[in-house]
């Protein structure tokens, strides 16, 4: 996908990002390992990499019940989750 984008828009800045884990038991059990491939890929291509995954894990560790309130469902962050977990990190890179 990255190569396709750059082929048509070579000056485009590609930003590789992780997402959040889900809070359903037993799902996405290898997500941390999977995101390691994102880290390697971004580094090998010298692309900007934004890693939200550790912040999501920390939010869960700090307060699992509050963490669940950061979702519309069991997978997709709502506005509160976005503002609390994603935006502080994104602001470091974008704004």
* pLDDT over 70 percentage in the chain: 93
Of 84, 66, 87, 79, the C-alpha closest to 23 is: 66
Q: Name residue, tokens 């390697």.
A: 40
CATH of the domain at 54: 3.40.50
Q: Is the pLDDT of residue 22 over 80?
A: no
Q: In the structure, what pLDDT confidence band is assigned to residue 21 with cuts at 50, 70 and 90?
A: confident
Helix axes 53-62, 31-45, angle to 10 degrees: 150
Q: Name residue, tokens 């359903």.
A: 24
Of 11, 31, 13, 12, the C-alpha closest to 21 is: 31
Total count of domains within the chain: 1
CA angle 8, 1, 21 (to 5 degrees): 140
Instruction: Tell me how far apart the alpha carbons of residues 61 and 56 are, in angstroms, rounded to a whole number.
Output: 9
Query: Which residue range(s) make up the domain with 79?
Result: 2-6+13-94
Residues in the chain: 95
């Amino acid at each position: 996908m990255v190569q396709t984008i750059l082929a048509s828009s070579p000056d485009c800045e590609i930003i590789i990002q992780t997402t959040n884990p889900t809070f359903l038991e037993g799902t996405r059990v290898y997500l941390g390992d999977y995101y390691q491939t994102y880290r390697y890929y971004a580094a090998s291509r010298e692309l900007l990499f934004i890693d939200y995954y550790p912040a999501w894990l920390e939010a869960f560790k700090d307060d699992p019940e509050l963490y669940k309130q950061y979702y519309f469902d069991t997978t997709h962050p709502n506005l509160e989750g976005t503002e609390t977990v994603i935006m502080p990190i994104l602001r470091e890179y974008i704004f």
